[in-house]
Amino acid sequence: MKVLLVGATGFVGRHLLAALVANGHEVIATSRRHHSRELSEVEWQVLDLDRLADDPKHFVIPQGIDLLINAAGLLSVDRQALQRTQDRGTRALFDLAAERGLRVLHISALGAGEQPDVPFLASKAAADAYLMELGVSAVVLRPSLLVGAGGTSSGWLTRLSPWPLIPLLDLDARLQPLHVDDLSGAVLALLRHWPMGSRVVPLVGPQALTLAQLLDHLRAAQGWAPARYLKTPQWLAAAGAWCGERLGWQGLNRQCLSMARRDNVADPELLAMLCGYRAAPLATHLVDWPNAAQSVQAALRPLMLAVMLLIWFGTAAVCLGPGYDWGLRIMADAGVTGEAARFAVVLGSLCDALLGLGMLLRRWRRRAFQAQLLLMASYTLIITLVLPHYWFDPYAAVAKNLVLMVATLWLLWTEPRR
């Protein structure tokens, strides 16, 4: 079968692409930007749903396509952006498919149509309804929470999983999570057993779990005992969601808060009756993912960044404030006095603050880490040559430079390159 896969570089799209190719389907894949060809069997084309929403001629469906699969989506709380991408842009895509008489498989989300106050689900529901009324042969597949390597939600869960005490927004709401491989399996089953009429079908795991139970599954897969969980006080959750809205956090905002407090479940037999596919219990998929070392790194890295920021900004503030005279005494001990000493203390403090600021800017973070390593190595060498007795400080102030250098090197090596 010749398939046009829209959104092939996303979490769902990447897994679907690999599954379709592995099962012998000819795939034309699309992404917002030009994409490097990782699979020689796949033809890549550029398709931006935002542009398609305003210009239906932005994209032309290639000849010979048998099926359109739309796996594109936008994880956001911006209502206008969601409407443009997941509603208007997606409708325009469906119109192109209708003009060609194509079958359409649309990956939506469980809860679409049931939670109109959640912008993400509301925009999905609008596109779902439009497709069902378009008169084409279509299946709207609504998966529950998908977990697996590379997923945004999965990333948040793995960051939480190492901690023995975990605060959650809710302890009672149930969901039916499934591994992303089960979504690929369900799609392949639908391609083999395409229904006669258009359908909206939930795709859910066989177990209804609370978020705490899901995290315990992830912990068990990594060799850890069940954790203890605390429900975040309502006022604190609301304050965090308010901050998340303004800072653009994907893991904590009012949308997440609303979804976290509601059951989101469905009957797994509906899909089984349609194409014979049932998702497996989640634990059966948790073999290579999550990985304990990667989860610990993901959990500790934000904490390490926060501590390093505190050290660099704190050092700058102390040296310009209560530690200023102490800095002058150290300079005098090294034989530097007067204006030169005052200049050196102020310059060093401003340099520390600048390097701390560089850590806050993602595009400059790697350079900031490299500069920090160079600065700490220089400080350590100068102290060794000029003030060697500082090595015998009972609090090991100089020796702790080595620990900071190793921590900075770890942050540098684990910093994403994109």
Task: Tell me which amino acid residue 130 is.
Answer: Y
**Alpha carbon 349 to chain centroid, angstroms:** 35
Adjacent-strand bridge partners of 139: 105, 199
Omega cis (within 30) before 290? yes
CB 181 within 8 A of CB 15: yes
251 closest CA partner among 181, 109, 151: 151
For the chain, list residues with pLDDT below 50: none
C-alpha torsion 309→313→315→320, nearest 10: 180
Question: How far, CA to CA in Å, does 138 sit from each of 96, 102, 133, 374, 381?
Answer: 14, 9, 10, 59, 69
| Amino acid 116: pLDDT | 78
| Amino acid 350: pLDDT | 95
| Amino acid 38: pLDDT | 64
Distance between CA atoms of 50 and 319, rounded to whole angstroms? 50
What confidence tens digit (pLDDT) does each residue in 172-194 have? Answer: 999 999 999 999 999 999 999 99
| Amino acid 119: pLDDT | 82
Q: Residue 230 is encoded by which pair of tokens? A: 């605390």
Distance between CA atoms of 294 and 288, rounded to whole angstroms? 11
CB 181 within 8 A of CB 279: no
| Amino acid 120: pLDDT | 85
| Amino acid 37: pLDDT | 60
| Amino acid 418: pLDDT | 65
Task: Tell me which amino acid residue 322 is.
Answer: P
| Amino acid 244: pLDDT | 75
**Alpha carbon 49 to chain centroid, angstroms:** 21
Q: Residue 291 is encoded by which pair of tokens? A: 């990985």
| Amino acid 293: pLDDT | 94
Angle at 148 between CA 144 and CA 151, to 5 degrees: 80
pTM of the model: 0.86
